[in-house]
Amino acid sequence: MIQELDPVRRADVDRASRLAAERVVERARRERLEDVMVATVDSPVGTLLVAATPRGVVRVAFPEEPEEAVLEELAADLSPRVLADPRGMDAVRRQFEEYFRGRRRRFETRVDWSLAPSGFSRRVLEQTARIPYGTVSTYGEMAKRAGSPRAARAAGNALHDNPVPIVVPCHRVVPASGGVGRYGGSEWRKEWLLRLEGWLQG
């Protein structure tokens, strides 16, 4: 018969397990065996899963995306060496926290475009990354800046597939006809972010 550990021993086992995991991550970081770091960020729009490579933030996932599926995507498309590393992600997490508190208007972290589409869609995302805090642009304007003035719908599709929302602020692109338009992370999040930045009132 298997006996359950008493609470004190269970706490000791949990602590030892946590320390062992931290040592593994630290060694992987030291020996540069860590290709992708992941960590969670608690926010008013839900817990975000954020991933980064040495080149920059590569993925931001909203809670509706199953964590296991996102990790499998990272492993398949980037590298199987994906490690949970909250400490290694401290600087990135801090920027998110400052943004959500209204204390940061611009992310200073670099973007790794490895999971972004190519061609026109990539150009749309690169132009979107330049939209200043507290302002918006339209889908048509983003299509024009990306080199295809009549491709507003395609620009919308590119923004819907943005792998790094918030950092690349696709929430700042709205329809010319009014309203906030669609958003891959749900329209209520788009409205919340635009209110945080002062473009939407109320």
Q: Residue 178: which H helix or E strand, with range?
A: none
Question: Annotated catalytic residue: which of 89, 170, 174, 194?
Answer: 170
Question: Pairing relation of β-strands 137-138 and 173-174?
Answer: parallel
* Closest-CA residue to 63 (of 87, 43, 89): 43
Q: Is 170 a catalytic residue?
A: yes
Q: Where are the beta strands (DSSP E) in the chain?
A: 36-41, 48-53, 56-61, 82-84, 137-138, 173-174
Contact between residue 68 and residue 84 where contact means Cβ atoms under 8 Å apart: no
Question: Rounded CA gap, 192 and 202, in Å?
Answer: 10
Contact between residue 122 and residue 129 where contact means Cβ atoms under 8 Å apart: no
- The two tokens of residue 11 are 């706490």
Question: Rounded CA gap, 175 and 79, in Å?
Answer: 37
3-state SS class at 84:
strand
Contact between residue 168 and residue 128 where contact means Cβ atoms under 8 Å apart: yes
Catalytic center residues:
170
